[in-house]
Amino acid sequence: MFIYILRRLALIIPTLLGILTLNFFIIQAAPGGPVEQMIAQLQGLDVAATARVGGGGGGETAGANVSAQASSTSAYRGAQGLDPAVVKRIESMYGFDKPLWERYVKMLGNYATFDLGESFFRSKGVLELIGEKIPVSLSLGLWSTLIIYTLSIPLGIMKAVRHGTRFDIWTSTVMIVGNAIPVFLFAILLVVLFAGGSYFNWFPLRGLISPGWEDFSLFHKILDYFWHLALPVTAMVIGGFATLTMLTKNSFLDEVGKQYVTTARAKGQTERRILYRHIFRNAMLLIIAGFPAAFISMFFTGSLLIEVIFSLDGLGLLGFEATISRDYPVMFGSLYIFTLIGLFTKLLSDLTYMLVDPRIDFSSREQR
């Protein structure tokens, strides 16, 4: 087991290298980089994403540094007609005056020491930005995933045991409807109903905590934290539990028809003992296999629209804005952190396999 964990940890390095390399060269080849964004700003063009991210940050400061030199060219469109010295200065500002391979090697060297650089447009370090945003996304992803798994697994087992009954039919109908409606519509409905829309004003509409939270008592802090999370987490749970419930049900139904279940029944074992002693550990393997993908999706990508609707400034919104504005340090830094978390979560999933079913031994399989 220990050797297997070491091997998996060693594989993280080439996996990270491959992902970063592929994304680096793809993104560098994409048009509309930060130099073009700055040129567009100096030309007086509307670059909404950059302006939104800039917000008094490094982008505006950098623009002010060269705006005097470029003022005479503000009537031009595109890089044509700009003073070449101004373009060179902008390229140097973002490090694009160096060859592609040199930027790539420098990025890998910095990332090896977790030096993720500074944002082009926010005047902050990437690690500092991620540290500021991660409590929001971690709260949404963690609580949503835990609640979805807590609800879906027992419900899926109940549906498998009562397959074909009214309970199974009615719950399947509810889940099909819930799965067909986008998560953001549930979020908007909750805002309208419970967050001061047209009916009740029971829950806050923005932020993860209330002003003055630091001065609250411990109990009041916890209560305030979950009060702010209630609606966004509810929206994510409603939109996400149907798939896992049906996966659990189908996984259990598939195991029920196998020979070892028939043998256990022939030996006189009770249905409850067969379900939880034999079927459970085999059926749960498929569900555990999907946990890393579910967690990462809920943690990073699934919460983007929820963050926008409930005014929660998390990693989903940060990554989206960085992509639109070509804020390369934030893009690559976020990718680096997300990939690391995903790889370690996958390793944790394999270890959970062995806890659920001790017969599984990945290390012995690798030696064959």
- Cα separation, 251 vs 287, in Å, equals 8
Say whether both 58 and 144 belong to one domain.
no
Structural domain boundaries, residue 61: 31-97
Say whether both 164 and 69 belong to one domain.
no
In a domain, 294, yes or no: yes
In a domain, 265, yes or no: yes
- Cα separation, 52 vs 58, in Å, equals 12
Burial class (CB in 10 A: 0-12, 13-18, 19+), 80: exposed
Say whether both 252 and 296 belong to one domain.
yes
Query: CA–CA distance from 317 to each of 111, 174, 231, 330 (Å)?
Result: 23, 31, 18, 12
pLDDT band at 242 (very low <50, low <70, confident <90, very high): confident
In a domain, 7, yes or no: no
pLDDT recorded at residue 87: 59
pLDDT band at 203 (very low <50, low <70, confident <90, very high): confident
Say whether both 77 and 139 belong to one domain.
no
> Does the structure show a pLDDT above 50 at 69?
no
pLDDT recorded at residue 54: 39
Domain count, the chain: 2
In a domain, 82, yes or no: yes
Contact criterion met (CB below 8 Å) for 2 and 362: no
Say whether both 328 and 289 belong to one domain.
yes
Which of 45, 80, 97 finishes a domain? 97
Mean pLDDT along residues 184-210: 81
The CATH number of the domain where 168 resides is what? 1.10.3720.10
Across the chain, mean pLDDT equals 75
In a domain, 75, yes or no: yes
Say whether both 198 and 293 belong to one domain.
yes
In a domain, 113, yes or no: no
In a domain, 111, yes or no: no
Say whether both 79 and 173 belong to one domain.
no
> Does the structure show a pLDDT above 70 at 90?
no
pLDDT recorded at residue 74: 35
pLDDT recorded at residue 84: 65
Say whether both 264 and 314 belong to one domain.
yes
pTM over 0.75: no
- Which of the given ranges, 30-34, 76-80, 281-285, has the highest pLDDT on average? 281-285
SS3 state of residue 205:
coil
Say whether both 237 and 362 belong to one domain.
yes
Tokens of 120: 């082009």
In a domain, 340, yes or no: yes
Collect all residues with Cβ–Cβ distance below 8 Å to 88 and sequence separation of at least 6: 97
Residue that wins the pLDDT comparison between 36 and 163: 163
Say whether both 163 and 220 belong to one domain.
yes
pLDDT band at 94 (very low <50, low <70, confident <90, very high): low
> Does the structure show a pLDDT above 60 at 234?
yes
pLDDT band at 310 (very low <50, low <70, confident <90, very high): confident
Residue that wins the pLDDT comparison between 59 and 31: 31
- Cα separation, 287 vs 3, in Å, equals 26
- Cα separation, 154 vs 251, in Å, equals 13
pLDDT recorded at residue 184: 82
Collect all residues with Cβ–Cβ distance below 8 Å to 243 and sequence separation of at least 6: 179
Say whether both 352 and 255 belong to one domain.
yes
> Does the structure show a pLDDT above 70 at 322?
yes
Say whether both 187 and 253 belong to one domain.
yes
Contact criterion met (CB below 8 Å) for 100 and 126: no
pLDDT recorded at residue 45: 54
What is the radius of gyration, based on Cα positions, of the chain? 26
Q: Where are the beta strands (DSSP E) in the chain?
A: none
> Does the structure show a pLDDT above 70 at 10?
yes
pLDDT band at 266 (very low <50, low <70, confident <90, very high): confident
> Does the structure show a pLDDT above 70 at 264?
yes
Query: CA–CA distance from 119 to each of 41, 101, 325, 328 (Å)?
Result: 17, 21, 11, 8
